[in-house]
Amino acid sequence: MFPLIREILAMPGDSRELRVRGWIRTKRDMKNLVFVELNDGSCLGGIQCTLDTAAFPESAETLAPLGTGAAVEITGKLVPSPGRGQAVEIAASEVLLAGDAPGEEKDGVPPYPLQKKRHSLEFLRELPHLRGRTNTLGAVMRVRSGLSFAVHRFFQSRGYQYLHTPVITGNDAEGAGALFRVTTLDPRQGGSRAGTGDYDRDFFGRETFLTVSGQLEAEAYAAALSRVYTFGPTFRAENSNTARHLAEFWMIEPETAFFRLPENMALAEDFLKFCLNSALENCREDLEFFDGRIEPGLIDTLQSAAESTFTHITYTDAMAELEKAGGFEYRPSWGCDLQSEHEKFLTEELIKGPVIVTDYPKEIKAFYMKMNGDGRTVRAMDVLVPRLGEIIGGSEREENLAALESRMEELGMDADRYSWYLDLRRYGTVPHAGFGLGFERLVQYVTGMANIRDVIPYPRAAGQLY
Ligand code: 4AD
Ligand code: MG
């Protein structure tokens, strides 16, 4: 395989002959020399290529009309660079055009929209198919890829099996009703209306949705393989148009048999720190870019979070702190969900670092959570981080059949639909716990990117399908 620019930049400038492929970032003419900065996305930096136009007139002619965005293959010698900012450069002897990207309208093709000047992230969002060629989005996607690999390394090295849970499902795992319907019926032909019981004409002969979480299926397999994790796309039809919600996002959900809440909290903390350390080690150049351009102080923050011991606080204590502090738009009171301003206060002012909030009121958490002895709170845990708020949500699960049935009845849930889930409590039930990490929130945390739409290649959010 031919070398990538990342590999070439690490080679010695010993005049070896090589060919480099990529897209022109900038081109400058100086007397008899043309300087081209070529980037192939393998790393942040590009490689500088210089062409002596007098010595290689044919290539000079090829290069002359080209500008930012054009794809070329350049052959030359790798030599020490006299310029600043790079150790080596290519003394080019041949330039071949792969694909032009005209700077001005040409043969009916509008000019390449990503000319040299800086573009706003909002503008780039309108060009999801091209924005990966910018420094910022390129760096985000490399960090994203590196973090994905870290997720697998972490769980695989701890005996967890990677489980592929279904995307199409018949149940609402969170009981929150934020579901996308899956149907082959055409709404223009009458479709099927919720509540009409008309789904027997539909593809599966029943109502189906896109999954909001693989947790329930993961629980089934934790009761078979002991330790499992999912890592896949999940879908929520929440109409929350915020900088940290997507309609389609990726989630990592470990589920562990024989785990109680404290072990689950420790796993979440180890996991998050492992991801941070892995990014600090393996994505250094990109993180330095984010630290310099996007979020000053980022590396220090990540470093200190990775070295810290996460603070634990119960929901009840957190509420008391919030009530004491006061001055919020939403007045905190026991029983209410934590608003982002409350999460901000806890992580950025009270604790100044990641915090795990536990034992929430049962009313604001999902049906499957294990009830505490007080009958009012459940063994839930949310990991909150500065800047973002909730990054992980999880709990110990109710493994007792009678307790789970009565909670489902209380909530008016259809037990028939969940009979397979109740089977897990009928046959060989064990204590177990798990959590879900929103992968895009992790990428946001690690890169400092303010908007979740800029950390996934093709963002899907309410009213926006780019
Ligand atoms: O807290 P959530 O809803 O928990 C669950 O889905 C559980 N089934 C997880 C489990 O115990 N196995 O979601 C988990 C995480 C959140 O903490 C958040 O990071 C992320 O998923 N998340 C979203 N990320 C982007 N866009 C959205 N709309 C999100 N909703 C949740
Ligand atoms: Mg949650």
CATH number of the domain where residue 351 is located: 3.30.930.10
- Tell me phi and psi for residue 286, to 5 degrees: -70, -40
Distance 393 CA to ligand 2 centre (A): 5
Q: Domain check: are 283 and 137 in the same one?
A: yes
- Domain at 94, CATH number: 2.40.50.140
Q: Domain check: are 154 and 57 in the same one?
A: no
- The ligand 1 atom at the shortest distance from the C-alpha of residue 383 is 17
* Cβ 238 under 6 angstroms from ligand 1: yes
Closest to 276 measured CA to CA, from 302, 300, 311: 302
pLDDT at 344 over 80: yes
Identify the pLDDT of residue 196. Answer: 58
- Between strands 377-385 and 227-235, the pairing is unpaired
pLDDT at 12 over 60: yes
- Between strands 377-385 and 71-80, the pairing is unpaired
CB 262 within 8 A of CB 397: no
Q: Domain check: are 419 and 394 in the same one?
A: yes
Q: Domain check: are 113 and 237 in the same one?
A: no
pLDDT at 263 over 70: yes
Give the pLDDT confidence of 386-429 residue by residue, as tens digits: 999 999 999 999 999 999 999 999 999 999 989 999 999 999 99
Domain boundary among 94, 117, 140: 117
Proximal ligand: closest to the CA of 369: 1
Q: Domain check: are 136 and 259 in the same one?
A: yes
Identify the pLDDT of residue 200. Answer: 83
Distance 392 CA to ligand 1 centre (A): 7
Proximal ligand: closest to the CA of 259: 1
Q: Domain check: are 355 and 275 in the same one?
A: yes
Question: Residue 176 — pLDDT band, cuts 50, 70, 90?
Answer: confident
pLDDT at 292 over 80: yes
Q: Which of 224-228, 238-242, 276-280, 324-328 has the lowest mean pLDDT?
A: 238-242
Type of residue numbered 202 = D
Q: Domain check: are 143 and 277 in the same one?
A: yes
Distance 15 CA to ligand 1 centre (A): 53
Q: Give the span between the Cα atoms of 325 and 281, in whole angstroms.
A: 38
Distance 213 CA to ligand 1 centre (A): 8
Share of the chain above pLDDT 70, in %: 98
Domain count, the chain: 2
Pocket test for ligand 1, best of 249, 256, 370 (most atoms within 8 A of CB): 249
Q: Is residue 277 part of a domain?
A: yes
* Cβ 37 under 6 angstroms from ligand 1: no
Q: Give the span between the Cα atoms of 163 and 172, in whole angstroms.
A: 19
* Cβ 441 under 6 angstroms from ligand 1: yes
* Cβ 435 under 6 angstroms from ligand 1: yes
Rounded to an integer, the average pLDDT of 42-48 is 96
Q: Which residue has the higher pLDDT, 457 or 189?
A: 457
Q: Is residue 63 part of a domain?
A: yes
Identify the pLDDT of residue 281. Answer: 98
Q: Give the span between the Cα atoms of 158 and 219, in whole angstroms.
A: 18
How far, in Å, are 236, 257, 269, 319, 335 from residue 359 at the CA level? 25, 20, 17, 12, 11
Identify the pLDDT of residue 194. Answer: 55
Q: Domain check: are 280 and 393 in the same one?
A: yes
Proximal ligand: closest to the CA of 438: 1
For ion ligand 2, residues whose CB falls within 5 Å: 393
Rounded to an integer, the average pLDDT of 261-276 is 98
Question: Please, what is the average pLDDT of the chain?
Answer: 95
pLDDT at 195 over 70: no
pLDDT at 221 over 90: yes
Q: Is residue 190 part of a domain?
A: no
* Cβ 438 under 6 angstroms from ligand 1: yes
Q: Is residue 236 part of a domain?
A: yes
Q: Give the span between the Cα atoms of 162 and 139, in whole angstroms.
A: 27
Q: Domain check: are 285 and 380 in the same one?
A: yes
Distance 392 CA to ligand 2 centre (A): 7
Q: Domain check: are 144 and 62 in the same one?
A: no
Identify the pLDDT of residue 185. Answer: 87
Other C-beta atoms lying within 10 Å of the C-beta of residue 411: 12
Q: Domain check: are 11 and 151 in the same one?
A: no
Q: Is residue 67 part of a domain?
A: yes
* Cβ 354 under 6 angstroms from ligand 1: no
Proximal ligand: closest to the CA of 389: 1
Give the pLDDT confidence of 85-118 residue by residue, as tens digits: 889 999 999 999 999 999 999 889 899 999 877 8
- The ligand 1 atom at the shortest distance from the C-alpha of residue 246 is 26
Q: Give the span between the Cα atoms of 150 and 274, in whole angstroms.
A: 8
Q: Is residue 461 part of a domain?
A: no
Q: Is residue 206 part of a domain?
A: no
Q: Domain check: are 438 and 393 in the same one?
A: yes
Q: Which of 186-190, 336-340, 456-460 has the lowest mean pLDDT?
A: 186-190
Rounded to an integer, the average pLDDT of 314-320 is 98
Identify the pLDDT of residue 240. Answer: 80
Give the pLDDT confidence of 127-170 residue by residue, as tens digits: 999 999 999 999 999 999 999 999 999 999 999 999 999 999 99
Q: Is residue 187 part of a domain?
A: no
Identify the pLDDT of residue 191. Answer: 60
Beta-bridge partners for 382:
357, 393
Domain boundary among 88, 117, 146: 117
For ligand 1, atom 17, name the residue with the nearest CA.
Answer: 392
Domain assignment of residue 172, given as a range: 132-176+212-454
- Between strands 432-438 and 161-162, the pairing is unpaired
Closest to 69 measured CA to CA, from 107, 123, 108, 110: 110
Domain boundary among 92, 117, 142: 117
